[in-house]
Structure 1
């Protein structure tokens, strides 16, 4: 009579075990109770591994007319190695009860699996301290040792006949199979750990970006205040000019306060306070704020703005264009000309900010707006990121036309307010 070494029942048993492992890690990943409490994870391991253990016995492997076996030892060994006595003892009780229900009492089964439990449970603590490579070496060695030991016990006690098929299916196959099962278990476990670490790193990165961005945004009005305070030292200033400088400085300090108060709500899809923005008036304010910085760098500002209104937050609008205009000024360290235009096209307002500065390469254009990417030596890129977010919040678009040493033109298109 011919027998197939690796028959369908062997593959079925391996399938049961593999599915139980995936179910276990799926539940660990999606149920917080199992993530928090170790004893619940151990209980889940007992439940998940008892299912393939029972199925392996229910659908055994027939290797000879009077020889029936299965791969129940694999989930039993895996559970005991990873869970120790806490998991191994319940699995042993389930195994023996189901075995006796299906096939009746057999003292050889009791002796063999008690031996397996003792060996695996004693070795469990050491096994769990190994890294993945060490586990992949030791698990097959333990399985092979237990298979040989079980065969010796069966032969000594009951004069068991060892056939070629038995050697293949119950000594060699389990030894190889547990190598792949342990590899999958370790892979899933490491993937979950890496994802947990990644989430923590992302949270820290968000906090870091938020802190750096707030610092960046507050620095802008403080720089303006510093500039006007220095101008106030000039002895020949008239009272009217001094009052104007003090008024602008106080406005910038108030803007810094508003940035600190409102920045945490900035990431919302739309600002809570929606109002009509007079584009030409707000752009002129931005020009007035930046003009002292431009004068210090020998930069001429040529505004040509036309009336038009859009919808959004005035504070965010000023914050956005102050960032963009300030970046344009800083892109001309040797002086130049900054042109700010606004005009209407159909139902949109178009705003152009054009400088004659150092320009950008295609790669820099593609990364425009990324956090921590900047063409400036000490830049963080967060100001540009905030500006882009504000434009998106206002349902606008931004286009860049730039060439190295030829300057950059930013074209911002915003929806026109309906009358």
Structure 2
């Protein structure tokens, strides 16, 4: 029995490992790929079942089925469900009825609770919970349909629950660990790239500012000594253009390597209310409405820079909505962080766009530069926080800004 359990488990892990090892998660059809890989794992698991007791022939098909639902969504889960039922029908026997009666309610229940689950470690708990539930449903229908001996059935149920729980925990833990590692690697790569950009910008600015400063000094000297009105006019014009060049250099430096100039205690509710009043005319001019629910929160940071981030995110949300949309802004405390959520009912983004979000010179807008969102990421990182993005095409986008609360920021 043990060798077939391990073989089933190997089929599941090979599918998950292939998805990450070959970079299939980067593909724009990544969810379909999850469905295909999980479907293949299901077929192999069903082809090599294990026997707990004579007459009790089962496998680990529920695990890749749940993987497809949790990580691939309705489409991937539906593909695996159809594959599972068709292959079970092909194998024949009365077990097809038990399979149908067991997996259809599981599929429906998972779809109902899918919206309640959160990303991260809760996926592990979610997978284990439904693995146990499936073991219970399968055992009940097996007893009713196949009329197994009750004494043997109780022992089988314990065995089956333990096997499914352990295997599902290892599978989902492996997947979450791989996802965390990839996310961490991408963050390190992005931080290094932005750091290099900042150093390059500082070097260029230093080299350019030196001759500009000298030129500005001589022009000011000429301006103070000239008596000719035409020369004076040209001197003033040249000085204005030099001032503009210095402003452009300073702005580029701010985008490349933003620094908190004045750290102070910020009333998040009052701050966001002010930002909303500033941006609301722009939002309403596009035919959208703004709804806000704000709690009393306090953080430490540069108020002007935080204003810059919020205005940028709200304007992006307004521009992502085609017509008559809604922007919802929430502010609340969670796990020692002030969480600011900005949600829109816009066009949304696909996985590829989400992965590139915040990179220099990448924008989903036709005339965008990507610098505004890049500096938003950098400012929040400088405050010890992070920005998380959730989006689905056609369903809108949610930006979650997490900043340590006042007491945590002091530490």
Q: TM-score, normalised by structure 1?
A: 0.47
